[in-house]
Each structure stands twice: as C-alpha cells, then as structure tokens.
Amino acid sequence: MHANIVVLPGDGIGPEIVSATLPVLEAVAARYGHTFAFQEHDIGGIAIDRHGEPLPAATLAAAQKADAVLLGAVGGPKWSDPNAKVRPEQGLLAIRKGLGLFANLRPVRPHPAALGASPIKSELLAGVDIVVVRELTGGIYFGDKTRSATDATDLCRYSVAEIERVVRSAATLARQRRGHLTSVDKANVLETSRLWRDVTARVMREEFPEVTIEHQLVDSMAMHLLSKPRAYDVIVTENMFGDILTDEASMLAGSLGLLASASLGAGKVGIYEPIHGSAPDIAGKGIANPYATILSAAMLLRHSLGLEAEAAAIEAAVSAALDAKVFTADLAAPGQAANTAQAAQAVIARLG
C-alpha cells in the first residue's frame, strides 16, 4: 500500500526520536512492499519560533489530508513562561480537536527485561497487558471556568454521544483482545459519572454482549491498578480520571521511554506519539530512548493503516532488542548504554 504520513518532530528530543523511528518504518515498508511518504511540519515551540503559533495552518491542513500523524514531543523551558500568550501544548490540543480525535489509547505491557526498572514488585508485573482508553475532548478540562477573588469553579460536562463513541472504541478494542472492559467512574458522587455508567452499560448490553463489562470507582481503581494489574484488559474512562490513571499505569512499565500512545477519532487518521515529553535535560545528546516512538509507529500501522502483521513485527523487534539488553541510558547499567541510533538499529536488525 501507499500511505502519506505527516511527521511532527516538535521540540527537545522530539526530532531525535522521530528521526530514529523513520528508518524503522522505511525498513518495514521495504520488507512488506509498501511505500510511505513522509511530510515534515512544525508543531509546538519550534512552530511558535518560526510561525508565531503552536499549530500553523499548514500543519493542520497537512494532517487533515494525511493517513496518519507521527509526533515526537512538544515543549521546553524556552516556552514555559506561565504568562505567555501562546504555549507549545496548545498545539497538541488544537491538532487533536482539528482532527476530531476523542480516544487516547495507551498500552502498558511491561517487558520482562525491564521489570526491574519499575518501582512495582516484578511478580505483580509479569503478564500485565493493559490498554487504557482515555476520553479526550470532554469533562472538566473543557467545561466553563469562573474565578473571583474568593472562589473558582470548573464545570464538568459529558453528553451521551461523547460517552457512546469512546465506549464503542474501547469495547471494539476489548473484543479484539481478551474480551474484558473495565469502565472507571465516580458514580457514587458525580452526576456525569452516573450518566457515564448508564450509557456504558447500555452500549455494552446492546452492542457488545460478548465483551464482559465491569464498573469500577476511580479511587479503588487507583489501588487495583498497582495491586492486581494483571486483572485488567481494556480500561475506559473520562478525561481527567484517564489523565491520572494513565500516568499511574506508566509506572508499571519501568521507563517513560517504553510507552506509546495513539489518539483516535471516528475515521482512520490518528496521532501517534510517545507518552513522554520533550526531555529538555537530555535533548541534543543523542541518548534518548526511541522505543516508545517506534512502538507508537507500530500503533500507527495497526490503527490507521490496518497493517497488523507489520505492527506486530515492529513490536516483536523492539521486544527482541530489549531481550538482548539493548538499553538506552534510562534503562542501562552505568557504562553500558546504547545511544538513540544504536537502539533504533537494533530494532531494524531484528525485524522478522
């Protein structure tokens, strides 16, 4: 197949991890007879510097025409003045909105070779394979806000349609995996959560009878995620709960440098990016871990291009590189670290 992929390196280590990932995609294309055309555009801090805005119109227009978007990371000290009119992160929110993306998928599958890097006991981590699906466009982050000298409010709002579409995405994923969906809410206190629970129960009963559904309160979920992470398959939740639980879940995997993500909507186009930020403390040194971005590229092949075998080949190659202890500095013993390019080459060398 031929696919047009928009590439948004962004800031800090973004350009390093993205340029390490493109040769992996090229190698997969060559092996499986595909052609991928990469078109690079600016987002984040670099876009503010060059164009005065974090999401230039040309970037959004290219993304809207593309089959998929691969993103590095945005932000850094240069643009982090809290009083600044434009901030790099606004570019991320704007591009997700512009592409109509409402579901953020974060797989967490701790690798046996990296279990020691997690603060959680290894015996709890073996066999963990979770995908957290976070709703991206609604809830308290986007509700009306007020502020006076003596108080402040944030409105939390969800519509039936917003809940239905993200639950359908998560349930479809659960059906392709182990057939178990956990929906997380705070239905004992919040009206939006009671609506969330009612809508989820109905969608699951009417449309996904073969997927088992379990409802969990967010506070107990925060405990279960660490005490019995193997019990979960797909977890779906609203925006703020998802923001917190996905960061908690990331601790299961040992390093931020191993965790990929996808932001999806109703169509095929999605944004694929590592969950970590622009790591300004190590930017420009060529030592960042590229695996999370390479695994994000695998998700791109799976979810936007429908290339399951190719996605699985990349995942297996990353796994084999980790088995061979090709670790970047975030995971390696002192003096034994591979650099970014060496880690990416190790993946290419192991593509089946």
Q: Does 242 bind ligand NAD (CB under 6 A)?
A: no
**Which residue stretch of 205-213, 230-238, 273-281, 305-313 sits at the interface with ligand NAD (rule: CB under 6 A)?**
273-281
Other CB atoms closer than 10 Å to residue 23's CB: what's the count?
15
CB 304 within 8 A of CB 333: no
Of the candidate residues 9, 54, 75, 254, the single one contacting ligand NAD (CB under 6 A):
75
Q: Closest separation between CB of residue 18 and ligand NAD, Å? A: 11
Task: Please say which residue, 225 or 282, places its beta carbon nearer to ligand NAD.
Answer: 282
Distances (CA, A) of 240 to 40, 173, 176, 218: 31, 21, 26, 10
Annotated catalytic residue, options 32, 78, 243, 325: 243
Binding residues with ligand NAD: total (CB under 6 A): 24
What are 199's two structure tokens?
Answer: 């809508």
Least distance to ligand NAD, CB of residue 43, Å: 9
Q: Which stretch binds ligand NAD (CB under 6 A): 70-78, 115-123, 150-158, 172-180?
A: 70-78
* 330 touches ligand NAD (CB under 6 A): yes
- Cα(90)–Cα(81) distance, rounded to whole angstroms? 13
Residue range at the interface with ligand NAD (CB under 6 A); choices 21-29, 143-151, 226-234, 270-278? 270-278
CA distances from 76 to 7, 21, 69, 82 (A): 19, 21, 21, 12
Give the sheet arrangement for strand 212-217, strand by strand: 35-40, 2-10, 68-73, 270-274, 260-265, 101-108, 130-135, 234-237, 180-185, 212-217
* Interaction between residue 110 and ligand NAD (CB under 6 A): no
CB of residue 331 to ligand NAD, shortest distance in Å = 8
State the nearest-atom distance from the C-beta of 210 to ligand NAD, in Å: 34
**CA-CA distance, 26 to 60, in Å (whole number)?**
24
278 sits near ligand NAD (criterion: CB under 6 A) = yes
Q: In whole angstroms, how close is the CB of 340 to ligand NAD at the nearest point?
A: 8
Choose among 299, 291, 231: nearest CA to 20: 291
Residue 141 is among the residues annotated as catalytic for this protein = yes
Asked about 247 being catalytic, the answer comes back as: yes
Of 212, 213, 211, 209, residue with least CA distance to 196: 213
Q: In this complex, which beta carbon is closest to ligand NAD, that of residue 78 or of residue 168? A: 78
Q: Are 63 and 96 in contact (CB under 8 A)?
A: no
Phi, psi torsion values for 136, nearest 5 degrees: -110, -15
In the numeric block, which tokens belong to residue 50? 């060059």
Query: Catalytic one among 49, 198, 219, 323?
Result: 219
Cite the active site residues.
141, 186, 219, 243, 247
Site residues for ligand NAD per CB under 6 A:
13, 17, 73-76, 80, 89, 92, 256-257, 273, 276-282, 288-289, 292, 328, 330
